[in-house]
Chains A and B, each alone.
Chain A
Amino acid sequence: MNNWLPFEWIASVRFLRDGRMQTLFIVSGIAIGVGVIVFMSAMLAGLEANFIKRVLTSQSQIQLLPLDQVARTLRNGKGEFEDAILQRPAQRVLSIDQWPKIRDRMLAMPEVTAVSPTMAGSALAIRGDASRAVTVTGIEPASYFKIVRVPDYLVAGDGRLTSEDVIIGIQLADDLGATLGDKININNAQGIGRVLTITGLIDLGSKGANQRVSFVALRTAQSLLGMIGGVTTIELTVQDIYAAEIIARQISASNQVKAESWIKTNAQFFTAVQAQESSNTLIRVFVGMSVAFGIAAVLVVSVIQRSKDIGILRAMGTRRGQVLRIFLLQGGLLAFIGSLLGSALGAGALTYWHSMARQADGTELFPLILDRNLFVITAMIATVTGLLAATLPALRAARLDPVEAIRG
Chain B
Amino acid sequence: MAEEILRLENVCKAYNVGQTSETEVLHDINLHLEKGEFLALIGPSGSGKSTLLNIVGLLDRPTSGKLFIKDQDTAHLTDAAITSLRGHRIGFVFQYHHLITAFTALENVMMPMLVDRGFPSDEIKARATMLMEQVGLEKYSNNLAGNMSGGQQQRVAVARALAMSPSLVLADEPTGNLDTKSADGVFELMRKVNSDSATSFLLVTHNLDLAQRCDRIIEVVDGRITA
Query: Which residues of A pack against B, CB within 8 Å?
Result: 1-7, 10-11, 14-15, 17-18, 308-309, 311-320, 322, 402-403, 406
Per-position binary interface string of chain B over residues 87-110, scored 1 when its CB falls under 8 Å from any chain A CB and 0 otherwise: 110001010001011110001001
- If the complex has contacts A313-B111, A316-B111, A319-B83, are A406 and B98 also in contact, measured as CB distance less than 8 A? yes
Query: In whole Å, how far is A67's beta carbon from the nearest beta carbon of chain B?
Result: 75
Whether A317 and B119, one on each chain, are in contact in the complex, defined by CB atoms closer than 8 angstroms, is no
Q: Which residue in A3, A14, A317 is a CB contact (below 8 Å) of B84?
A: A317
- If the complex has contacts A1-B107, A2-B120, A3-B120, are A317 and B102 also in contact, measured as CB distance less than 8 A? no
Q: Which residues of chain A are near B59, meaning CB under 8 Å?
A: 314-315, 402-403, 406
Whether B112 and A7, one on each chain, are in contact in the complex, defined by CB atoms closer than 8 angstroms, is no
Query: In whole Å, how far is A8's beta carbon from the nearest beta carbon of chain B?
Result: 8
* CB interface residues, B 51-108, toward A, < 8 Å: 54, 57, 59-60, 79-80, 83-84, 86-88, 92, 94, 98, 100-103, 107
Whether B83 and A318, one on each chain, are in contact in the complex, defined by CB atoms closer than 8 angstroms, is yes
Enumerate 8 A-B pairs (CB-CB under 8 Å) in ascending A order. Answer: A5-B119, A7-B120, A10-B114, A14-B102, A308-B98, A309-B102, A315-B59, A317-B116
Whether B118 and A7, one on each chain, are in contact in the complex, defined by CB atoms closer than 8 angstroms, is yes
Q: Which residues of chain B are near A319, meaning CB under 8 Å?
A: 80, 83-84
Q: Which residues of chain A are near B83, meaning CB under 8 Å?
A: 314, 317-320
- If the complex has contacts A1-B120, A6-B119, A10-B114, are A317 and B100 also in contact, measured as CB distance less than 8 A? no
Whether A3 and B122, one on each chain, are in contact in the complex, defined by CB atoms closer than 8 angstroms, is yes
Q: Which residues of chain B are near A320, meaning CB under 8 Å?
A: 79, 83
Bound together, the chains give a CA A74 to CA B160 distance in angstroms of 105
Per-position binary interface string of chain B over residues 103-139, scored 1 when its CB falls under 8 Å from any chain A CB and 0 otherwise: 1000100111011111111100100000000000000
Whether A316 and B122, one on each chain, are in contact in the complex, defined by CB atoms closer than 8 angstroms, is no
Q: Which residues of chain B are near A317, meaning CB under 8 Å?
A: 83-84, 86-88, 112, 115-116, 164
Query: In whole Å, how far is B10's beta carbon from the nearest beta carbon of chain A?
Result: 21
Q: A15-B102, A315-B86 are in contact. List 7 more A-B contacts (CB 8 A).
A: A7-B114, A309-B100, A316-B86, A316-B92, A317-B87, A319-B80, A320-B79
- If the complex has contacts A317-B83, A318-B83, A320-B79, are A3 and B119 also in contact, measured as CB distance less than 8 A? yes
Q: Which residues of chain A are near B160, meaning CB under 8 Å?
A: 316
Bound together, the chains give a CA A402 to CA B87 distance in angstroms of 13
| CB-nearest residue of chain B to A2 | B120
Query: In whole Å, how far is B27's beta carbon from the nearest beta carbon of chain A?
Result: 19
Bound together, the chains give a CA A121 to CA B136 distance in angstroms of 102
Interface of A is mostly: helix
| CB-nearest residue of chain B to A317 | B87
Bound together, the chains give a CA A122 to CA B29 distance in angstroms of 110
Q: Which residues of chain B are near A7, meaning CB under 8 Å?
A: 114-115, 117-120
| CB-nearest residue of chain A to B172 | A406
| CB-nearest residue of chain B to A309 | B100
Q: Which residues of chain B are near A403, meaning CB under 8 Å?
A: 54, 59-60
Q: Which residues of chain B are near A313, meaning CB under 8 Å?
A: 100, 111, 115
Q: Which residues of chain B are near A18, meaning CB under 8 Å?
A: 101-102
Q: Which residues of chain B are near A312, meaning CB under 8 Å?
A: 92, 94, 98, 100
- If the complex has contacts A314-B83, A316-B92, A317-B88, are A3 and B114 also in contact, measured as CB distance less than 8 A? no
Whether A316 and B120, one on each chain, are in contact in the complex, defined by CB atoms closer than 8 angstroms, is no
Of listed A6, A309, A315, residue having the most chain B CB within 10 A: A315
Q: Which residues of chain A are near B120, meaning CB under 8 Å?
A: 1-3, 5, 7, 10
Bound together, the chains give a CA A320 to CA B79 distance in angstroms of 9
A-B CB proximity, top 10 nearest? A317-B87, A18-B102, A14-B102, A316-B112, A1-B120, A312-B98, A318-B115, A7-B114, A403-B59, A309-B100
Q: Which residues of chain B are near A318, meaning CB under 8 Å?
A: 83, 87, 115
Whether B119 and A315, one on each chain, are in contact in the complex, defined by CB atoms closer than 8 angstroms, is no
Q: Which residues of chain A are near B122, meaning CB under 8 Å?
A: 3
- If the complex has contacts A3-B122, A317-B88, are A322 and B115 also in contact, measured as CB distance less than 8 A? yes
Query: In whole Å, how far is B177's beta carbon from the nearest beta carbon of chain A?
Result: 15
Q: Which residues of chain A are near B94, meaning CB under 8 Å?
A: 312, 406
Bound together, the chains give a CA A314 to CA B74 distance in angstroms of 17
Q: Which residues of chain A are near B118, meaning CB under 8 Å?
A: 6-7
Query: In whole Å, how far is B196's beta carbon from the nearest beta carbon of chain A?
Result: 22
Bound together, the chains give a CA A311 to CA B101 distance in angstroms of 14
Bound together, the chains give a CA A241 to CA B83 distance in angstroms of 63
Per-position binary interface string of chain B over residues 192-219, scored 1 when its CB falls under 8 Å from any chain A CB and 0 otherwise: 0000000000000000000000000000
Bound together, the chains give a CA A4 to CA B120 distance in angstroms of 7
Q: Which residues of chain B are near A6, meaning CB under 8 Å?
A: 118-119
Q: Which residues of chain A are near B115, meaning CB under 8 Å?
A: 7, 313, 316-318, 322
Q: Which residues of chain B are near A14, meaning CB under 8 Å?
A: 102-103
